[in-house]
Amino acid sequence: MKVATPVSFLLLVLLFASGCHTVPQTGRSALHLVSSDRLAAMASAQFGELKQNTPISRDPKYTSMVNRVGERIAYVAAPDMPNAQWEFVVFDDDDQINAFAMPGGKVAVYTGIFKIAKTDDELAVVIGHEVAHVAAGHGNERVSQQLLAAGGALAVGLGTRDLDSSERQLIMAAYGAGATLGVMLPYSRYHESEADEIGLIYAAQAGYDPRAAIAFWKRMEAEKSGAPPEFLSTHPSGSTRIRKLNELMPKAVAIYENR
């Protein structure tokens, strides 16, 4: 049945629709078309696979540091994300100066990050940023944008000609984006800035000196070579990032000193 395909697509979107989501701390409205529970379950499964295929560090110096900082950041983020299932893992790869987060609360840090993050305050910059991506629902927003883009293209196609296999491929691509790539989609530049902002607040609330972020990002910039880490890939430049952080700093320092 030719007409059945877009109808079922729309039904599916409506079925998943949880509508508008308010980003904690910034108050921005974001469109979430996929259920967060569903996305978290997919991410959790994917994270489980990653853990099986990636060497995990057992170095207590790193694991205890990440768990200690992770626990404190997750604690202050809890009101923004009460259903999170936080898990913090250190992957053993000194060449990767990187970290990432997945919907639902899975956070991974590579051992390479410890070349830059020397103290708990500095690691809190990393963990705060990653926890912020999760709490802000950036993964859901990315998947929703992919679904909308596919749906929009589908609507254009419908107006011009009968459905054919290309429309079906489009629908499959949208499903694919949600089912696999979705949970690991790169974040947009805007999401990176927002994660910086929320992460800085979380770090300060958790008792980490937010001023450590400036030194951290300066060192991160100096290290920028080879494959760009998640942190740097979508950002305009280190100087813009540092300028924005400096603008936010008085508020963050006030939180840190008055908590």
- Report the residue number, 195 or 212, with the smaller CB distance to Zn ion: 195
- Report the residue number, 32 or 133, with the smaller CB distance to Zn ion: 133
Number of residues lying near Zn ion (CB under 5 A):
2
- How far is it, in rounded angstroms, from Cα 86 to Cα 223? 29
- Report the residue number, 147 or 195, with the smaller CB distance to Zn ion: 195
Nearest to 30 by CA among 154, 195, 174, 202: 195
Minimum gap (Å) between residue 93 Cβ and Zn ion: 18
Contacts of 220 (CB under 8 A, 6+ apart): 97, 116, 229, 231, 232, 238
- How far is it, in rounded angstroms, from Cα 26 to Cα 74? 18
- Report the residue number, 171 or 200, with the smaller CB distance to Zn ion: 200
- How far is it, in rounded angstroms, from Cα 132 to Cα 101? 9
Minimum gap (Å) between residue 47 Cβ and Zn ion: 16
Helix (H) or strand (E) holding 243: helix 238-258
Residue 51 tokens, joined: 């853990």
Minimum gap (Å) between residue 197 Cβ and Zn ion: 12
Other C-beta atoms lying within 10 Å of the C-beta of residue 56: 13
Active site residue 130: yes
Q: Is 137 left (phi over 0), alpha (psi -120 to 50) or beta?
A: left
Binding mask 175-204 for Zn ion (x = CB under 5 A): -----------------x--x---------
- Report the residue number, 192 or 209, with the smaller CB distance to Zn ion: 192
Which position among 87, 122, 130, 141 bears the catalytic label?
130
Q: Is 135 exposed, middle or buried (0-12, 13-18, 19+ CB in 10 A)?
A: buried
Minimum gap (Å) between residue 191 Cβ and Zn ion: 7
Nearest to 239 by CA among 211, 210, 217, 216: 217
Minimum gap (Å) between residue 192 Cβ and Zn ion: 5
> By the criterion CB under 5 A, which residues form the site for Zn ion?
192, 195
Catalytic residues: 130
